[in-house]
């Protein structure tokens, strides 16, 4: 019997069983071997040269990237017919995670393998794919993605770069400027977005960097990711062959959005590797550093920090691989209809736009938290450039800006879910209205179950009800003007993010409860996470309600939210200490 997939955003109104999700503990031997190859490459080629990369050595980065291509690491996403390995989306995400521990190398590597290569694979014609993709898969060619302009950041479609068809009809004459382009200093191919003539929307082109009129600026001086080449690119009457139009005329904006969805979801995996490295560095230092005659890892305050790092990472990882399997399953279904793996893949990724934005926001903020705590655990040494955590702290900050700022992505979380519901993908508004109108009947008796996982599931269900109440209240009050109420949308987005991550964690722990010899530790992680999430959800709901309601109605809704966000108290000290003690004993992140 075919599994019924959740549609994007449908988690708000429908539950799934633990057996229906993929968890990292299920990686195959082949997947683990691929991940180990990535780790071995970082140890052998990246870490010994990271100081030189940090000096902005373009040629060194190019050399290391090409070596990774020669070893096959760049071809994980590419089908075998184009010289790659055609691995599943889950495997692609695992490679994204593992390479994420590579500091600025990871940025260059992911930009090439993702946004530099996949637009051509997913949207290119047969000849374009044959010409470029095999060489991109092996690193013979290195790629870049050129969307952002000085006056067009979040509003990508407002870009001014222009293309005009030549008189003989053989070329598009490209003029304009792009900025913040990763790999600009050494890329051989560029996916460039421009408007043809006076078109309202963008088109996309494959531009070879060697073409006359392509001018690469000097690398930017950046806060972090100093080893990656980031520069402006200028196009001065560049003659791009007409056969290098990527996709159809006017399809560029759709391509750009689809690739951004992919970039967001893969960033959600990429930050996991960086976070695991930061946590391992944190515990190793805590186990070595002594104060007052004892290791600082014995102090309760340090244990609290270590456990908090683990909890957030473990939760993020649960959400990442949950949606990764959903995408794999949807790719299979879509390929039956279209017969094209590339188009099926990008359509599947684009479908899960809500979850992609959730992973991007949650993952980037999770890594910022962990990187900050890593510096704090190291104390003064954490501020020294001698330590990995100093570099990790600086490198982490860009993730909240990459692939659309977190502010934009928070708006997308809510807006996209509502639009999917309006299209009829699932019944959001009917259930939301019913809950809103019956708010005075919502009491503290909603959670009656005593069995551990049933009770936790009831908590998650109540979180979802709280979200639906806030959605209906906001829509009812602001109607079409809701798009301008970004503070309220942010409140709802935070509730959705915490709920999706909480549910993903719950589903994973429920699976682990049956396969782990000592599941108590994973229940500790779940207990603390849901306990903390309930406070975030309550505060966000209160803020939203007090914006769109007042008087007796506000009091009724707030009372309902208090009941829906109530969870049983737990001994967070003991739970966190058990989590930290395992980390301290292993002296490494091994959850």
Is-contact 280 154, C-beta < 8 A? no
Dihedral pair phi/psi, residue 485, rounded to 5° = -95, 70
Superfamily of domain 427-586: Butyryl-CoA Dehydrogenase, subunit A, domain 3 (1.20.140.10)
CATH 3.10.20.30: does it fit domain 10-142?
A: no
Rounded Cα distance, 313 and 367, in Å: 8
Q: Which pLDDT does position 445 carry in this prediction?
A: 61
Percent of the chain at pLDDT > 90 equals 93
Rounded Cα distance, 278 and 431, in Å: 42
Q: Strand 230-241 relative to strand 214-219: parallel, antiparallel, unpaired?
A: antiparallel
Q: What is the widest separation between alpha-carbon atoms in the chain?
A: 81
How many other CB atoms sit within 10 Å of the CB of residue 332? 12
Rounded Cα distance, 361 and 264, in Å: 9
Rounded Cα distance, 467 and 53, in Å: 46
Cα→Cα distances 571→309, 459, 528, Å: 18, 18, 9
Dihedral pair phi/psi, residue 294, rounded to 5° = -135, 160
Give 3's strand partners: none
Is-contact 435 469, C-beta < 8 A? yes
Token representation of residue 515: 């396969």
Q: Which pLDDT does position 447 carry in this prediction?
A: 66
Rounded Cα distance, 418 and 9, in Å: 8
Instruction: State pTM to two decimals.
Output: 0.96
Give the catalytic positions in this structure.
Answer: 403
Rounded Cα distance, 10 and 16, in Å: 10
What b/e string do you get for 23-37 counting C-beta neighbours within 10 Å, with b at 16 or more? bbeebeeebeebbeb
Rounded Cα distance, 261 and 35, in Å: 23
Ranges under pLDDT 50 in the chain: 1
The topology (CATH level 3) of 145-246 is Butyryl-CoA Dehydrogenase, subunit A; domain 2 (2.40.110)
In this predicted model, what pLDDT tens digit does every residue of 353-401 receive, in sequence order? Answer: 999 999 999 999 999 999 999 999 999 999 999 899 999 999 999 999 9
Strand residues in 386-425 grouped as ranges (E) = none
Is-contact 139 65, C-beta < 8 A? yes
Indicate the SS3 state at residue 573. Answer: helix
Average pLDDT taken over every residue of the chain: 95
HSE of 472, CA atoms in CB hemisphere, 13 A: 19
- Would you say the CATH fold of 145-246 matches that of 10-142? no
Q: Which pLDDT does position 337 carry in this prediction?
A: 87
Domain boundaries, the chain: 10-142, 145-246, 427-586
Is-contact 107 46, C-beta < 8 A? no
Q: Which pLDDT does position 446 carry in this prediction?
A: 62
Rounded Cα distance, 574 and 578, in Å: 6
Rounded Cα distance, 404 and 406, in Å: 7
Token representation of residue 301: 């305050």
Q: Which pLDDT does position 171 carry in this prediction?
A: 97
HSE of 481, CA atoms in CB hemisphere, 13 A: 5
Q: Which pLDDT does position 1 carry in this prediction?
A: 47
Look at the alpha carbons of 171, 172, 177, 178 in this order and tell me if their dihedral is positive or negative. negative
Dihedral pair phi/psi, residue 230, rounded to 5° = -130, 115
> 3-class secondary structure for 100-138?
HHHHHHHHHHHHHHHHHCHHHHHHCCHHHHHHHHHHHHH
């Amino acid at each position: 019997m075919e599994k019924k997939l959740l549609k994007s955003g449908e988690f708000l109104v429908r539950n799934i069983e633990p057996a229906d999700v993929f968890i990292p503990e299920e990686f195959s031997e082949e997947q683990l071997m691929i991940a180990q190859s990535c780790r071995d490459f970082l140890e052998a080629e990246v870490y010994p040269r990271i100081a030189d990369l940090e000096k902005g050595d373009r040629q060194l980065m190019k050399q290391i990237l090409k070596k990774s291509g020669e070893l096959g690491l760049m071809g994980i996403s590419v089908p075998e017919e184009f010289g790659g390995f055609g691995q599943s989306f889950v495997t692609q995400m695992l490679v994204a995670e593992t390479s994420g521990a590579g500091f600025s190398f990871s940025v260059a590597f992911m930009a090439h393998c993702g946004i530099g290569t996949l637009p051509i694979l997913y949207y290119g014609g047969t000849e374009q794919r044959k010409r470029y993709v095999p060489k991109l898969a092996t690193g013979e060619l290195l790629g870049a993605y050129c969307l952002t302009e000085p006056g067009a950041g979040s509003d990508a479609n407002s870009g001014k770069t222009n293309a005009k068809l030549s008189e003989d009809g053989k070329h598009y004459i490209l003029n304009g400027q792009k900025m913040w382009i990763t790999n600009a200093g050494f890329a051989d191919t560029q996916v460039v977005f421009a408007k043809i003539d006076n078109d309202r929307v963008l088109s996309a082109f494959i531009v070879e960097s060697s073409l006359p009129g392509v001018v690469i600026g000097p690398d930017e001086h950046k806060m972090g990711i100093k080893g990656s080449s980031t520069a402006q690119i200028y196009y001065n009457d560049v003659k791009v062959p007409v056969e290098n139009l990527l996709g159809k005329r006017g399809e560029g904006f759709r391509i750009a959005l689809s690739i951004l969805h992919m970039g967001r979801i893969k960033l959600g995996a990429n930050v996991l590797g960086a976070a695991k490295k930061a946590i391992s560095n944190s515990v190793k230092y805590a186990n070595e550093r002594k104060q007052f005659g004892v290791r600082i890892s014995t102090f309760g305050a340090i244990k609290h920090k270590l456990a908090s790092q683990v909890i957030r990472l473990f939760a993020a990882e649960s959400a990442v691989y949950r949606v990764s399997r959903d995408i794999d399953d949807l790719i299979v279904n879509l390929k039956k209809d279209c017969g094209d793996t590339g188009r099926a893949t990008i359509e599947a990724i684009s479908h899960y736009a809500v979850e992609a934005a959730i992973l991007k926001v949650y993952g980037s903020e999770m890594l910022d938290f962990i990187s900050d705590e890593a510096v704090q655990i190291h104390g003064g040494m954490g501020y020294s450039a001698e330590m990995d955590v100093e570099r990790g702290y600086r490198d982490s900050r860009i993730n909240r800006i990459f692939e659309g700022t977190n502010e934009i992505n928070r708006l997308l979380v809510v807006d996209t879910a509502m639009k999917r519901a309006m299209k009829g993908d699932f019944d959001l508004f009917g259930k939301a209205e019913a809950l809103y109108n019956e708010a005075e009947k919502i009491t503290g008796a909603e959670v009656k179950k005593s069995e551990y996982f049933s009770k936790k599931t009831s908590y998650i269900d109540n979180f979802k009800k709280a979200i639906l109440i806030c959605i209906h209240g906001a829509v009812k009050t602001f109607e079409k003007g809701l798009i301008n109420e970004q503070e309220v949308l942010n409140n709802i987005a935070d509730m959705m993010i915490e709920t999706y991550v909480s549910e993903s964690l719950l589903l994973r722990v429920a699976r682990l409860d049956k396969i782990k010899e000592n599941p108590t530790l994973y229940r500790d992680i779940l207990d603390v996470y849901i306990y903390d999430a309930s406070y975030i959800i309550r505060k966000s709901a209160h803020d939203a309600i007090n914006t769109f309601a007042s008087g007796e109605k506000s009091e009724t809704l707030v009372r309902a939210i208090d009941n829906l966000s109530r969870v049983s108290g737990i001994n967070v000290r003991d739970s966190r200490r058990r989590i930290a003690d395992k980390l301290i004993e292993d002296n490494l992140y091994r959850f």
